[in-house]
């Protein structure tokens, strides 16, 4: 039944791999080469740690300047969404779509 078909298929695949050694070696070596390349690149460009930026008061916002203004924030958590809604409705009478 199923086991015989599976075993025959695996045997067939082994025969194909043995007969096409060049492509089989390429299937193994290319991913290893790219993995080595990625590791090398990450070692050449190490991650930077940035210091915290202190809070500053920017003063009142002028809504006439901010016609098509986009504010981005991260991470997209519930707390960040609450803060952005508060910023939108405290500084603009119509609010901003966040």
Q: What predicted TM-score, i.e. pTM, was given to this entire model?
A: 0.38
> pLDDT (tens digit, 0 to 9) for every residue of the chain, 98 residues total?
899 999 999 999 999 988 888 888 888 899 999 999 999 998 888 777 878 777 777 677 666 666 666 666 667 788 888 887 777 776 666 655 55
What residues contact residue 98 under an 8 Å CB cut-off, 6+ apart? 71, 81, 84, 85, 87, 88
Residue ranges per structural domain of the chain: 2-45, 63-95
Cβ atoms of 98 and 88 within 8 Å: the answer is yes
């Amino acid at each position: 039944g199923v086991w015989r078909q599976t075993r025959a298929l695996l045997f067939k695949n082994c025969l194909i791999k043995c007969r096409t050694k060049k492509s089989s070696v390429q299937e193994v070596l290319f991913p290893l080469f790219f993995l080595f390349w990625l590791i090398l690149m990450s070692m050449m460009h190490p991650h930077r740690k940035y210091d915290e930026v202190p809070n500053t008061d920017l003063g009142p916002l002028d809504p006439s300047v901010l016609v098509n203004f986009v504010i981005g924030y991260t991470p997209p958590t519930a707390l960040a969404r609450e803060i952005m809604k508060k910023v939108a409705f405290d500084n603009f009478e119509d609010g901003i779509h966040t």
